[in-house]
Amino acid sequence: MSEQQTAVRIRVEALAEGLESQAQAWAQRLQLPLQEPAAEFALQVSGQGLQLQQLGPDAPGPVRVDFVEGGAAHRRLYGGGSGQMIAKAVGIQQGVRPRVLDATAGLGKDAFVLASLGCEMSLVERQPLIGALLEDGLARGLDNPEVAPIVSRMQLLKGNSIEVMRNWEGEPPQVIYLDPMFPHREKTALVKKEMRLFRPLVGDDPDAPALLEAALALATHRVVVKRPRKAPCIEGPKPSHGLEGKSSRYDIYPKKALKPGV
């Protein structure tokens, strides 16, 4: 996702007494104002966690990262385990749980699924506001006895994904997972609330080819790219094959076979 777009006005606010110091800390860290009457978005410190709220009469509800309840909990309990398409795409099989770098982490939903299946995950989200939501959600997940073992397998890295991959130190990831923002056409489908909220902040990913290039240079075993089902492949080397679902597909760029115990 692209860097925060300067044209969007954002303020930080506390929604309850006793949370002002947290709001001030986030404002300082993200270099955002606490008072901005003309703000289009508010990063809110609430009793349920950090959340992003679009302002205005027709705005959707707030978005926060929640690995304990809601969709994440339902998918963890009833999502289909290692039979899920994303699990097959990254190479999960009997005795194989690859180390995965999710270089476009967003709200961490896909990374959480893979971590719940036993993968050690590294996450990069370069948009600072979304990174803050993700950091807050991971911290709250560690406080829940059922979710903590999963979240402990998710390490959040800071910085631009391409730079992080190009300057990687230590053992490289076996698999790199990419889900770059794709230009949306309003007529095709109702956009998810998160995407309606984030698009003014993050735009599309015009540097997706550079993202893929950096991923292919770093991953030891494969790169997986999630795309809308009918979208073209990312410009560059072609995937060897793909897995296709109802609304999305996974383009797979293999480098080496994933084997048990490796």
Closest CA to 255 of 236, 240, 234: 240
Torsion sign, CA atoms 242, 212, 115, 70: negative
Residues 19, 244: Cα–Cα separation, whole Å: 45
Residue 166 among known ligand-binding residues: no
Q: With beta carbons less than 8 A apart as the criterion, state whether 132 and 43 touch.
A: yes
Residues 203, 104: Cα–Cα separation, whole Å: 13
| CB-CB neighbours of 235 under 10 Å | 10
Structure-block tokens of residue 151: 């979240």
Closest CA to 118 of 144, 85, 145, 93: 93
Residue 17 among known ligand-binding residues: no
Torsion sign, CA atoms 240, 75, 42, 160: negative
Residues 163, 76: Cα–Cα separation, whole Å: 32
Residue 179 among known ligand-binding residues: yes
DSSP letter for 79, please.
Answer: S
Binding positions for S-adenosyl-L-methionine: 125-126, 179
Binding positions: 125-126, 179
